[in-house]
C-alpha cells in the first residue's frame, strides 16, 4: 500500500518541486514518476525543474503535457553525480538542483525532491535554506523495514563527528518526523549503542543518553544494531558515520542473501523447477524487502523540506521519494520540529558547543 492512501492531511494543495535532471537516469525516471504521483495524489501540484527541452521531450514520450497541476521551471545547468559539493555550490547557480531548492526557499514549493549528488544537495540546501533555529546540523533520516513495520533511523551520513547535543537534536527531529508522518503521538526513541546498559558506549553516547533522558521525548534508552530490524523503537538515533555503515552493511547483506537464494535455485534442473514452483512465494518475499519501497531520505533540520532519492532509483522507487515529500509537507513536519526544538534543544547551550 502506498503511503498516500493512509494519511490524514492537514494542508491541501501541496506543490512539490522536482529536480528533473538529478540521478543516474534524469528525466527518464523523474518525469514518469511525477506523472504517476499526480494520478496518486489529487491534491498536489508538481514543478519540474531542469532543461525545458529535455523535460518537454520526455513528457511528449508519455503523451503528457504541462497543465494546471504540472509546470516546467527551466534551469540551464545540471550538477554531475560526481561533482564536488563546493564546486556545485559556487559554479552552478542555475542548476536544476539549486533552482528546485530556491522554489522551496521562496515559498513557491512546499518541498523538493532530488536524486542528485548527495553532498551537493546537502551543501546547497544548507546554503540556501539555512538550518532551523536551535539546530546546528541537518541530518539525513530514512526508514528501514522491521519485523512489524518500519523504523526511522538518523543520521545516515551527513555528520561524521557529532556531539551529544547533535544527537539530542537528531532525536527531536526524528521523533517529530515519525510522529507527523506515521501519526504516532509519542514515538519511542532509542540511542544506538553497543549494549543496552546506560554505562555502555563512548563518552559522547553516554552524554547523549543523559540529554535524551532529560528531554520531553519518549526515550526508550539504548538500543543495539539488531534492534533496528526488530522494530524495538520507532526512531533510532546515531551519528552519521555509524548510521551510514549500518545502512550500507545492511544493503550489502540483503544483496548477498538474495544472490544466495537465487544461486541455490539455479543450481540444477531440479532446483530450477523448485524455484519456478515457489515463484509466487519468492516474489511476495522480494516485494516485502524491496528497498525501492524505502526510497526517500529526509534532510531534517533545514528551514524547508528536501527529500533525497537514491541516485540509481527507477521511477517506481522515485515515486516513494515524492510520496515522502508530500507526506512531510501535508503533515506539518517543519512546524513540529521547530516547536519541539524550542522546548528541548536549549539553543543557547547548543550554539556554544
Binding part of the chain for a second copy, among 37-45, 121-129, 210-218, 223-231 by CB under 8 A, reads 223-231
From the list 52, 66, 274, 342, which residue makes contact with a second copy (rule: CB under 8 A)?
274
- DSSP code string of 112-156: EEE-S-HHHHHHHHHHHH-BPTT-SS-EEEEEEE-SSSEEEEE-S
Least distance (Å) from a second copy to the CB of residue 278? 4
| Residue 340: closest CA among 219, 211, 204, 177 | 177
CA distances from 277 to 102, 260, 267, 270, 283 (A): 53, 18, 15, 11, 11
Binding part of the chain for a second copy, among 7-15, 30-38, 208-216, 270-278 by CB under 8 A, reads 270-278
Residue 104's contacts (CB-CB under 8 Å, 6 or more residues apart) are 17, 110, 111, 112, 129, 304, 305, 306
- The C-alpha atoms of residue 191 and residue 148 are separated, in whole angstroms, by 20
Least distance (Å) from a second copy to the CB of residue 295? 16
From the list 36, 131, 218, 250, which residue makes contact with a second copy (rule: CB under 8 A)?
250
From the list 257, 343, 351, 353, which residue makes contact with a second copy (rule: CB under 8 A)?
257
Q: Is 72 in the site for a second copy (CB under 8 A)?
A: no
Closer residue to a second copy in complex, CB, 291/336 = 291
From the list 261, 292, 316, 342, which residue makes contact with a second copy (rule: CB under 8 A)?
261
Binding part of the chain for a second copy, among 28-36, 90-98, 227-235, 301-309 by CB under 8 A, reads 227-235
The torsion region of residue 284 among left (phi > 0), alpha (psi -120 to 50) and beta comes to alpha
- Site size toward a second copy (CB under 8 A) is 55
Grid cell listed for 41? 495524489
Residue 321's contacts (CB-CB under 8 Å, 6 or more residues apart) are 113, 115, 295, 296, 307, 308, 309, 313
Angle, CA 250 vertex, CA 202 and CA 26 arms, to 5°: 115
Q: Is 269 in the site for a second copy (CB under 8 A)?
A: no
- The C-alpha atoms of residue 218 and residue 221 are separated, in whole angstroms, by 9
Closer residue to a second copy in complex, CB, 71/230 = 230
Near a second copy in 174-193, by CB under 8 A: 192
Least distance (Å) from a second copy to the CB of residue 297? 14
Least distance (Å) from a second copy to the CB of residue 208? 13
Least distance (Å) from a second copy to the CB of residue 23? 18
Closer residue to a second copy in complex, CB, 225/338 = 225
| Residue 334: closest CA among 130, 162, 99, 38 | 130
From the list 11, 57, 80, 194, which residue makes contact with a second copy (rule: CB under 8 A)?
194
Closer residue to a second copy in complex, CB, 205/341 = 205
Near a second copy in 107-126, by CB under 8 A: none
- The C-alpha atoms of residue 63 and residue 152 are separated, in whole angstroms, by 38
Give 154's strand partners: 141, 237
Q: How many CA atoms lie within 13 A of 63 on its CB side?
A: 1
Q: Is 157 in the site for a second copy (CB under 8 A)?
A: yes
| Residue 43: closest CA among 67, 16, 3 | 16
From the list 58, 182, 227, 327, which residue makes contact with a second copy (rule: CB under 8 A)?
227
Near a second copy in 230-249, by CB under 8 A: 230, 238, 240-242, 244-249
Grid cell listed for 101? 531548492
Site string for a second copy, 132-151 (x = CB under 8 A): -------------xxx----
| Residue 150: closest CA among 70, 219, 68, 232 | 232
Contact positions toward a second copy, by CB under 8 A? 145-147, 157, 160-161, 192, 194, 201-203, 205, 224-230, 238, 240-242, 244-257, 259-261, 264-265, 267, 271, 274-275, 277-278, 280-282, 284-285, 288-289
Amino acid at each position: 500500500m502506498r503511503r498516500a492512501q493512509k494519511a490524514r492531511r492537514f494542508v491541501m494543495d501541496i506543490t512539490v518541486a522536482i529536480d528533473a535532471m538529478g540521478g543516474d537516469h534524469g528525466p527518464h525516471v523523474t518525469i514518469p514518476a511525477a506523472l504517476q504521483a499526480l494520478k496518486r495524489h489529487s491534491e498536489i501540484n508538481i514543478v519540474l525543474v531542469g532543461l525545458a527541452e529535455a523535460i518537454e521531450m520526455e513528457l511528449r514520450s508519455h503523451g503528457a503535457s504541462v497543465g494546471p497541476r504540472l509546470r516546467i521551471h527551466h534551469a540551464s545547468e545540471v550538477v554531475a553525480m560526481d561533482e564536488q559539493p563546493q564546486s556545485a555550490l559556487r559554479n552552478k547557480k542555475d542548476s536544476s538542483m539549486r533552482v528546485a531548492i530556491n522554489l522551496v526557499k521562496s515559498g513557491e514549493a512546499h518541498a523538493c525532491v532530488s536524486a542528485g549528488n548527495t553532498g551537493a544537495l546537502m551543501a546547497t540546501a544548507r546554503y540556501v535554506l539555512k538550518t532551523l533555529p536551535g539546530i546546528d546540523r541537518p541530518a539525513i533520516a530514512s526508514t528501514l523495514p522491521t519485523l512489524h513495520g518500519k523504523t526511522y533511523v538518523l543520521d545516515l551520513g551527513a555528520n561524521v563527528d557529532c556531539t551529544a547535543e547533535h544527537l539530542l537534536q537528531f532525536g527531536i527531529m526524528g521523533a517529530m518526523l515519525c510522529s507527523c508522518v506515521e501519526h504516532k503521538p509519542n514515538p519511542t526513541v532509542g540511542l544506538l549503542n553497543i549494549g543496552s546498559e546506560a554505562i555502555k558506549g563512548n563518552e559522547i553516547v553516554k552524554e547523549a543518553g543523559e540529554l535524551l533522558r532529560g528531554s520531553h521525548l519518549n526515550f526508550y534508552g539504548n538500543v543495539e544494531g539488531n534492534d533496528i530490524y526488530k522494530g524495538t523503537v520507532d526512531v533510532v538515533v546515531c551519528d552519521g558515520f555509524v548510521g551510514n555503515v549500518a545502512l550500507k552493511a545492511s544493503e550489502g547483506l540483503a544483496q548477498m542473501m538474495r544472490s544466495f537464494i537465487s544461486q541455490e535455485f539455479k543450481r540444477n534442473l531440479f532446483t530450477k523447477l523448485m524455484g519456478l514452483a515457489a515463484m509466487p512465494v519468492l516474489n511476495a518475499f522480494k516485494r516485502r524487502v524491496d528497498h525501492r519501497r524505502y526510497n526517500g531520505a529526509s534532510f531534517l533540520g533545514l528551514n524547508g523540506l528536501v527529500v533525497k532519492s537514491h541516485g540509481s532509483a527507477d521511477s517506481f522507487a522515485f515515486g516513494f521519494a515524492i510520496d515522502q515529500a508530500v507526506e512531510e509537507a501535508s503533515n506539518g513536519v517543519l512546524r513540529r520540529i521547530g516547536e519541539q526544538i524550542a522546548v528541548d534543544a536549549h539553543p543557547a547551550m547548543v550554539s556554544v558547543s
